[in-house]
Amino acid sequence: MTDPFVTPAEPSAAEAIAAIGEELEVFDDWMDRYQYIIELGRKLPPFPEDWANDAHRVPGCQSKVWMEAARDGDVLRLAGASDAAIVSGLVALLLRVYSGRSPAEIVATDPVFLKDLGLLEALSTNRGNGIAAMARAIREAAQSQLG
């Protein structure tokens, strides 16, 4: 089985956010940005079929979104998937920022970057609420590791 967990290229959440911002700035309009985000989703590692269940489902998302978090030494590795193309891309963005980071770094990284990058304004209200629910689920998983 291929590793379903995302290993980001950037060494920190802040550097991942900065890189995503630079990548999105390349595009002049939101249609091109959406296409780019959809492509990111297509590059997600395959999510195991047997994880696409209610136990892994993120509540508060209109589309189906599944996530898994696993502790790996000092870091939390994350896997995710969605049944919707654009949402898969948003999952990919979140995992690039949060996966492979320490629980403390995850909790300290406020998802306000989604607003700063203009993503929340560009999305429908339901998708905006969904991505906020995904970020919350990731940060709650990290918080539970800090105990």
Nearest to 136 by CA among 62, 61, 52, 75: 61
Nearest to 91 by CA among 119, 122, 53: 119
DSSP three-state, residue 101: strand
Tell the residue number behind the tokens 């990731």, with chain if given: 138
Tokens linked to 19: 């890189």
User: Of the listed 20, 24, 37, 61, which one is catalytic?
Assistant: 61
Cα 54 to Cα 88: distance, rounded to the nearest angstrom = 17
Tokens linked to 94: 């979140």
Helices 85-98, 13-25: crossing angle, 10 deg rounding: 140
Q: Strand ranges (DSSP E) for the chain? A: 65-72, 75-82
Look up 61 and say whether it is catalytic.
yes
Active site residues: 61
